[in-house]
């Protein structure tokens, strides 16, 4: 048999050691880019809706509360208009009508508060349950993933997806219901404005065209910035975990300055990415505020002239002012929510990429679950490696009989750990067979193989 002594290749393959230069790109970065693509995936929402499906009853109630909340908001300016045009006139019935108006106003405000509180509570509780299901699904899948995936993926990057990205999806769930409410409110305000006065309503809404043009220019750059910020966060977390886990090696080789320089470069890239994302998330706020002022000026100038000319009631103009103020509030809210949703889309894409990583080592159909097995190990012409064309073991054959004690001795990277990993079937061989008790490990269930093969690790791990 022959054990390849190319220590650098074998060790890099198992531990994911960086082989790149100081330009920030490395073998690890290339592998991560290959496994986790950077393209925006519009199917993320559909995948997330799958996790929301078991709670559709609760979410339907929350959406019902949103509809009631929106209707009560739309009714308040109309109640004020009625008070001005109908109740604030010298008449014997005016006092009774004013009292009814006050009661209607109090009722609308109360319904508004109750509906808002109900949907906030339902969404918050449902969101926590959905995120629990999502974390559990990720954990179960990660437990089943093959070692070849774990070799190529930094722990820090996985933790970033398990914690930071799942947290970003929580923001998405919190905002999606609010976004539906804001959209309904916008549609309702447009409908009411045009029904009250078509001419004044059309002039007031003309400023929306400017906003649409600005958003068309802003949207593509903002999307790229949010995706890049999440990627940079993952890279920094991966570098932190790598250096913390390898701090003994760093100190033994006096690599503090080198590792710090590399980390500083990644951290600075993260800083620039987050600053750029923050710029895009905030740039729309002053634009919306400016358009709000322009719409208010249109209502005051054009509506005021119409009131003086007797073609528009004063209460209608006051209602217009209230609606214009409320019209740009949901636009401002949707702009901020879009930033959250874009971050959530980037995070959701990264989460579902983990869930979509295929499990390479699986039980064959009809795999045998052995209750008892002969304690023998045999390698028959085994060839194995971590990358195509770079075998670590080449044509290896040996047999360990029951009762024998065998030690594998060789330099670092010569294939000792690879050999023991094949016995436990952490990987599948390229050629040949690995047999336990005369059975090919690929013919046995992984659970029964784990019951009969024990391992004493070099470094102890305590689970809390």
Q: Which domain holds residue 460?
A: 1-20+364-464
Angle of helix 256-282 relative to helix 207-245, nearest 10 degrees, comes to: 160
What pLDDT, in 10s, does the model give residues 181-235?
888 998 999 999 899 899 888 888 888 888 788 878 887 788 788 778 878 887 8
- Mean pLDDT, rounded, of the chain: 79
325, 355, 385 - which closes a domain:
355
CA-based torsion, 152, 157, 162, 168: positive or negative: negative
Residue 46 lies in a domain: yes
pLDDT of residue 71: 93
Give the SS3 label for residue 401. Answer: coil
pLDDT of residue 108: 92
User: Does pLDDT of 117 surpass 80?
Assistant: yes
Do 310 and 433 lie in one domain? The reply is no
User: Does pLDDT of 452 surpass 70?
Assistant: yes
Do 351 and 373 lie in one domain? The reply is no
pLDDT of residue 40: 40
Count of structural domains, the chain = 2
Q: Which residue has the higher pLDDT, 354 or 148?
A: 354
Residue 281 lies in a domain: yes
User: Does pLDDT of 140 surpass 60?
Assistant: yes
pLDDT of residue 153: 67
Do 300 and 343 lie in one domain? The reply is yes
Average pLDDT estimate for 376-391? 87
pLDDT of residue 164: 67
Residue 280 lies in a domain: yes
What pLDDT, in 10s, does the model give residues 339-380?
677 667 777 777 777 787 777 777 888 788 877 877 888 889
> What span, in angstroms and rounded, lies between the C-alpha atoms of 267 and 19?
20
Query: How far lies 207's CA from each of 52, 90, 179, 288, 457, in Å?
Result: 37, 38, 21, 10, 68
Is residue 156 a contact partner of residue 239, using CB atoms and an 8 Å limit?
yes
> What span, in angstroms and rounded, lies between the C-alpha atoms of 324 and 317?
10
pTM, rounded to two decimals: 0.61
What pLDDT, in 10s, does the model give residues 44-73?
777 777 888 899 899 899 999 999 999 999
Region of 343 (left: φ > 0; alpha: ψ -120 to 50; beta: rest) is alpha
Query: How far lies 176's CA from each of 74, 237, 344, 404, 452, in Å?
Result: 20, 28, 11, 64, 50
Do 59 and 166 lie in one domain? The reply is yes
CATH of the domain at 251: 1.20.1560.10
User: Strands across the sheet with 431-436, in order?
Assistant: 2-3, 390-400, 377-387, 431-436, 439-440
Do 82 and 223 lie in one domain? The reply is yes
Residue 184 lies in a domain: yes
> What span, in angstroms and rounded, lies between the C-alpha atoms of 94 and 407?
102
307, 330, 355 - which closes a domain:
355
Do the strands 390-400 and 439-440 form a parallel or antiparallel pair, or are they unpaired?
unpaired
Residue 62, Cα to own-chain centre: how many angstroms? 23
Residue 29 lies in a domain: no
Instruction: Enumerate residues 6+ apart whose C-beta is below 8 A from 276.
Output: 225, 228, 229
pLDDT of residue 157: 66
What pLDDT, in 10s, does the model give residues 289-304?
888 888 888 888 888 8
Average pLDDT estimate for 116-142? 86
Do 238 and 125 lie in one domain? The reply is yes
Residue 27 lies in a domain: no
Do 151 and 203 lie in one domain? The reply is yes
Q: Which residue has the higher pLDDT, 336 or 309?
A: 309
Residue 74 lies in a domain: yes
> What span, in angstroms and rounded, lies between the C-alpha atoms of 282 and 336?
8
User: Does pLDDT of 41 surpass 60?
Assistant: no
pLDDT of residue 74: 92
> What span, in angstroms and rounded, lies between the C-alpha atoms of 128 and 121?
11
For 441, which DSSP code? Answer: G
Instruction: Enumerate residues 6+ apart whose C-beta is below 8 A from 363.
Output: 445, 446
Do 240 and 100 lie in one domain? The reply is yes
Average pLDDT estimate for 128-140? 85
The percentage of the chain sitting over the pLDDT mark of 90, rounded to a whole number, equals 10
> What span, in angstroms and rounded, lies between the C-alpha atoms of 424 and 448?
11
Do 49 and 125 lie in one domain? The reply is yes
Average pLDDT estimate for 389-410? 86
Do 199 and 246 lie in one domain? The reply is yes
Do 128 and 267 lie in one domain? The reply is yes
pLDDT of residue 89: 63
Burial 378-400 (b: 16+ CB within 10 A, else e): bbbebebbbeeeebbbbebeeee
Is residue 204 a contact partner of residue 324, using CB atoms and an 8 Å limit?
yes
Is residue 351 a contact partner of residue 166, using CB atoms and an 8 Å limit?
yes
Query: The tokens of 60 are what?
Result: 């339907």
Query: The tokens of 248 are what?
Result: 């003994």
355, 386, 403 - which closes a domain:
355
Do the strands 377-387 and 2-3 form a parallel or antiparallel pair, or are they unpaired?
unpaired
Q: Which of 105-114, 237-246, 276-285 has the highest mean pLDDT?
A: 105-114
Average pLDDT estimate for 155-165? 68
Give the SS3 label for residue 386. Answer: strand
Q: In angstroms, what is the C-alpha Rg of the chain?
A: 32
CATH of the domain at 397: 3.40.50.300
- Looking at 218-326, which runs of residues are DSSP E strands? none
Query: The tokens of 249 are what?
Result: 């090696």
Do 296 and 434 lie in one domain? The reply is no
What are 368's strand-pairing partners? 444
Residue holding tokens 């390479």? 360
Residue 30 lies in a domain: no
pLDDT confidence band for 114 (50 / 70 / 90): very high
User: Does pLDDT of 12 surpass 60?
Assistant: no
């Amino acid at each position: 048999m022959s054990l390849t002594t190319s220590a650098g290749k074998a060790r890099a393959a198992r531990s994911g050691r960086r082989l790149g230069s100081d330009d920030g790109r490395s073998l690890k970065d290339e592998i991560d880019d290959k496994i986790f693509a950077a393209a925006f995936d519009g199917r993320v929402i559909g995948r997330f809706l799958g996790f929301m499906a078991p709670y559709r009853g609760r979410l339907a109630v929350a959406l019902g509360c949103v509809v009631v909340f929106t209707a009560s908001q739309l009714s308040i300016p109309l109640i004020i208009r009625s008070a001005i045009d109908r109740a604030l006139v010298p008449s014997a019935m005016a006092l009774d009508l004013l009292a009814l108006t006050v009661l209607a106003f109090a009722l609308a405000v109360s319904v508004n508060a109750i509906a808002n509180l109900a949907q906030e509570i339902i969404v918050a509780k449902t969101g926590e349950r959905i995120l629990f299901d999502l974390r559990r699904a990720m954990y179960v899948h990660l437990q089943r993933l093959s070692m070849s995936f774990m070799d190529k993926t930094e722990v820090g990057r996985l933790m970033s997806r398990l914690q930071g990205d799942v947290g970003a999806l929580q923001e998405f769930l919190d905002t999606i219901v609010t976004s539906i409410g804001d959209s309904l409110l916008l549609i309702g305000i447009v409908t009411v404005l045009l029904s009250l006065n078509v001419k004044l309503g059309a002039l007031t809404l003309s400023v929306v065209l400017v906003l649409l043009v600005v958003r068309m220019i802003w949207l593509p750059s903002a999307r790229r910035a949010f995706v890049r910020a999440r990627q940079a966060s993952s890279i920094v977390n991966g570098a932190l975990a790598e250096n913390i886990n390898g701090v003994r090696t760093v100190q033994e080789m006096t690599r503090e300055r080198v590792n710090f320089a590399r980390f500083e470069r990644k951290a600075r890239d993260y800083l620039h990415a987050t600053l750029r994302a923050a710029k895009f998330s905030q740039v729309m706020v002053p634009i919306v505020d400016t358009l709000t002022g322009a719409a208010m000026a249109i209502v005051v100038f054009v509506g005021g002239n119409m009131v003086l000319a007797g073609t528009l009631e004063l209460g209608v103009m006051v209602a217009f002012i209230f609606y214009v103020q409320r019209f740009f509030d949901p636009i401002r809210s949707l702009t901020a929510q879009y930033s959250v949703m874009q971050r959530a889309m980037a995070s959701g894409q990264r989460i579902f990429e983990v869930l979509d990583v295929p499990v390479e080592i699986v039980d064959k159909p009809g795999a045998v679950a052995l209750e008892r097995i002969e304690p023998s190990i045999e390698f028959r012409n085994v060839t194995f490696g971590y990358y195509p064309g770079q075998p670590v073991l080449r044509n290896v054959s040996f047999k360990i009989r029951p009762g024998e004690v065998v030690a594998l001795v060789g330099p670092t990277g010569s294939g000792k750990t690879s050999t023991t990993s094949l016995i436990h079937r952490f990987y599948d061989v390229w050629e040949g067979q690995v047999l336990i008790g005369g059975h090919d490990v690929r013919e046995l269930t992984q659970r029964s193989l784990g019951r009969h093969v024990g391992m004493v690790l070099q470094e102890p791990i305590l689970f809390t």
